């Protein structure tokens, strides 16, 4: 997929001089190339996860209550993400020593071993590249989520304020829905797979000509020619 090339109106920072765009990236763009220090050693993104999906999520700070609940929640769904071929990687503007001590505290006090890496962005460089700094909150990062596909393309983003913890089941649903859309050429309804109108079924893309519109009405269950839906068969569901 060809990425969108968008120029922003940013100040002449050192990052700009090095060819790095500072500010929030867009859906459909390539995830910015970067080398990061993590609790699992240095990694190059998105190269590290080439051929895989990954979810990068930022949190405001280590040793804070809401962030701690989020890390436990992500870890308890770690294997579910792995089943989708999706890796997790966290980030905050803390030193790697803080991350290491915090995940140690979580294991010792809450019984959860954090198995995904956490980026130490104590210089704030990564946060600037991804537009993560929370306005009027000092250097703290927002609770951002980036879903990145195997080609390194940003497919979805969610931004939450510091005071609101995330719903990890929605992030799982987001990855699963994007994968289903890609693989089956369908659209995903609200609250899928528990949609109020069509349950766990998926939506057929609208017809672009009269003949196809007429055929759709015969092939699928439809509310109208522009709103047709179908069940994924068992073979499709298992993939």
pLDDT per position as a tens digit, 50-88: 999 999 999 999 999 999 999 999 999 999 999 999 999
**CB-based contacts of 222: which residues, under 8 Å, 6+ apart?**
216, 228, 229
Per-residue confidence (pLDDT) for residue 1, from 0 to 100: 33
**Residue 15: pLDDT over 60:** no
Task: For residues 90 and 189, give the distance between their C-alpha atoms in angstroms, rounded to a whole number.
Answer: 28
Task: For residues 190 and 196, give the distance between their C-alpha atoms in angstroms, rounded to a whole number.
Answer: 8
At how many degrees (to 10) do helices 96-110 and 65-76 cross? 70
| CA distances (Å), origin 3, targets 29, 98, 178, 183, 214 | 5, 35, 17, 20, 35
CATH node for 185-237 = 3.30.1020.10
- Nearest Cα neighbor of 88 from 141, 34, 39 is 39
Q: What angle do CA 73, 177, 116 make, to 5 degrees?
A: 35
Based on DSSP, count helices (H) and strands (E) in the chain, helices before strands.
8, 10
What phi, psi does 58 have (nearest 5°)? -105, 155
Q: What angle do CA 203, 209, 211 make, to 5 degrees?
A: 95
Reported confidence tier of residue 24, pLDDT bands at 50, 70, 90: confident
Per-residue confidence (pLDDT) for residue 13, from 0 to 100: 44
Q: Which residues, in sequence order, are bridge partners of residue 30?
A: 153
Active-site residue, from 67, 86, 222, 228: 67
Per-residue confidence (pLDDT) for residue 8, from 0 to 100: 35
Most confident by average pLDDT, 27-41, 127-141, 206-220: 27-41
Number of residues in the chain: 239
- Average pLDDT of the chain? 88
Per-residue confidence (pLDDT) for residue 138, from 0 to 100: 61
Q: Is 225 helix (H, G, I), strand (E, B) or coil?
A: coil
Given strand 53-58, what is the order of strands in its sheet?
41-45, 34-38, 118-120, 86-92, 53-58, 143-148, 154-160
Q: Say whether 222 is catalytic.
A: no
Instruction: Look up the pTM and report it.
Output: 0.86
CATH superfamily of 14-166: Glutaredoxin (3.40.30.10)
**Residue 122: pLDDT over 80:** yes
Taking the domains of the chain in order of start, what are their residue ranges?
14-166, 185-237
């Amino acid at each position: 997929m060809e990425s969108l090339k968008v120029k922003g109106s940013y100040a002449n920072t050192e990052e700009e001089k090095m060819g790095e765009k500072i500010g929030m990236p867009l859906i459909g763009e390539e995830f910015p190339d970067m080398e990061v220090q993590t609790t699992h050693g240095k990694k190059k993104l998105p190269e590290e996860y080439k051929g895989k999906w990954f979810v990068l999520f930022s949190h405001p700070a280590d040793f804070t209550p809401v962030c701690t609940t989020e890390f436990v929640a992500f870890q308890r769904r770690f294997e579910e993400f792995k089943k989708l071929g999706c890796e997790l990687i966290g980030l905050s503007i803390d030193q790697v020593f803080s991350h290491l001590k915090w995940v140690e505290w979580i294991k010792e006090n809450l019984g959860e071993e954090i198995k995904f890496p956490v980026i130490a962005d104590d210089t704030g460089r990564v946060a600037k590249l991804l537009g993560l700094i929370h306005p009027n909150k000092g250097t703290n990062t927002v609770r951002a989520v980036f879903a990145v596909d195997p080609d390194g393309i940003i497919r979805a983003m969610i931004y939450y304020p510091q005071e609101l913890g995330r719903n990890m089941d929605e992030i799982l649903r987001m990855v699963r829905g994007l994968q289903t859309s890609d693989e089956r050429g369908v659209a995903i309804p609200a609250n899928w797979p528990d949609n109020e109108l069509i349950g766990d079924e998926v939506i057929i893309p609208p017809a672009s000509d009269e003949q196809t519109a007429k055929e759709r009405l015969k092939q699928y269950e439809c509310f109208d020619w522009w709103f047709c839906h179908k069940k994924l068969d068992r073979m499709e569901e298992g993939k």
